[in-house]
């Protein structure tokens, strides 16, 4: 009996850790190791990736003094703003509509989701073609049928970010819609029946039954969307190169520039840590707020 307990203990702990070990190595190699190395590197003067001399916060200072960083930071706020304006409400609306439609529902659902499976890189190159600012660009050629002159699209510093967000939304909205849809369909029908009998209008039903039910999900997807926006990278890289005049450069794109174009590994590391801090603050802020909301 004792022997079998001992065996079970060994199996549980030694066996368990042996099973964890390979995955642990992978996480260490791909995730935690680089993260720690990044933090450490950010405090050094480096040649390539070798630490030469401890310099305290010099790399951070260098990042903060870079006018492009300031631009990228405010751009991230703009990306967030536009992704809320454009990308946040559309899926909720589409989910509401989709939940009511009975004809060809599967077809609609699949079609809305379809762009999501396309490779992101191909999608952004494709939309860059659509937004071609020359007269023969796809959208411009289409608009000229209505007598509208060529638009600069991504070349207009004020439009670059909203158009990139539009592209992101085109690709991602379908998936978010499906998540909302699943939640809407889990609403118990008797609630609707009851409110209908009480004579509630359609809008009242949405407001008092559907939206409250969706609210926790909306809150979660909202913060996920904000966190995702911080990771915008290859969209501006491909569509605008971060331009015009860095009007659409993103924080991640700047990390990439520091690390692989300017070859300044330590500066890239410092910016990586800065962005990580921003994300941690956002996430913990969200957790705190949602806790408070749940308590009330």
Token pair in block for residue 253: 């794109």
If one asks whether residue 168 binds other proteins (CB under 8 A), the answer comes out as no
Closest to other proteins by CB, 72 or 184? 184
For residue 91, give the nearest of 181, 223, 204 by alpha carbon.
181
Q: Minimum distance from CB of 259 to other proteins (Å)?
A: 4
Closest to other proteins by CB, 82 or 266? 266
Closest to other proteins by CB, 85 or 97? 97
Judged by CB under 8 A, the chain residues 203 through 232 that form the site for other proteins are: 205-206, 209-210, 227, 231
Q: Which of 125, 148, 194, 293 binds other proteins (CB under 8 A)?
A: 125
Q: Minimum distance from CB of 243 to other proteins (Å)?
A: 6
Do you find a cis peptide bond into 244, omega within 30 degrees of 0?
Answer: yes
Q: Minimum distance from CB of 65 to other proteins (Å)?
A: 7
| Number of residues in contact with other proteins under rule CB under 8 A | 131
Give dist(CA 91, CA 115) in Å, integer. Answer: 14
Give dist(CA 85, CA 102) in Å, integer. Answer: 29
Q: Which of 72, 170, 226, 236 binds other proteins (CB under 8 A)?
A: 170
Q: Minimum distance from CB of 80 to other proteins (Å)?
A: 16
Judged by CB under 8 A, the chain residues 251 through 290 that form the site for other proteins are: 252, 255-256, 258-263, 265, 268-269, 272-273, 275-276, 279-280, 283
Q: Minimum distance from CB of 88 to other proteins (Å)?
A: 14
Judged by CB under 8 A, the chain residues 22 through 61 that form the site for other proteins are: 22-24, 26-27, 29-35, 37-38, 41, 48-49
Q: Minimum distance from CB of 159 to other proteins (Å)?
A: 10
């Amino acid at each position: 009996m004792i022997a079998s307990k001992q065996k079970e203990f060994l199996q549980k702990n030694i066996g368990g850790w042996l099973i964890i070990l390979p995955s642990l190595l992978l996480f260490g190699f791909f995730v935690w190791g680089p993260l720690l190395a990044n933090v450490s590197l950010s405090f050094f003067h480096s040649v390539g990736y070798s630490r030469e001399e401890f310099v305290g916060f010099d790399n951070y200072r260098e990042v903060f003094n870079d006018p492009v960083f300031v631009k990228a930071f405010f751009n991230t706020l703009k990306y967030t703003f536009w992704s809320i304006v454009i990308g946040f409400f559309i899926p909720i609306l589409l989910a509401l509509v989709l939940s009511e439609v009975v004809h060809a529902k599967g077809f609609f659902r699949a079609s809305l989701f379809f762009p999501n499976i396309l490779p992101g890189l191909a999608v952004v190159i494709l939309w860059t073609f659509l937004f071609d600012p020359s007269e023969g660009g796809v959208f411009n050629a289409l608009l000229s049928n209505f007598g509208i002159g060529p638009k600069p699209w991504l070349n207009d510093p004020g439009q670059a970010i909203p158009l990139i967000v539009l592209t992101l939304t085109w690709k991602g909205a379908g998936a978010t819609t499906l998540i909302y849809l699943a939640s809407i369909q889990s609403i118990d029908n008797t609630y609707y029946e009851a409110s209908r009998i009480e004579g509630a209008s359609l809008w009242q039903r949405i407001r008092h039954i559907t939206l409250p039910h969706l609210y926790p999900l909306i809150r979660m997807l909202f913060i996920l969307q904000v966190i995702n926006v911080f990771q915008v990278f290859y969209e501006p890289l491909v569509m605008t190169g971060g331009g015009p005049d860095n009007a659409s450069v993103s924080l991640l794109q700047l990390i990439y520039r520091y690390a692989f174009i300017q070859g300044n590994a330590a500066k890239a590391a410092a910016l990586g840590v800065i962005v990580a801090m921003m994300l941690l603050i956002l996430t913990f802020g969200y957790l705190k707020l949602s806790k408070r909301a749940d308590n009330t």
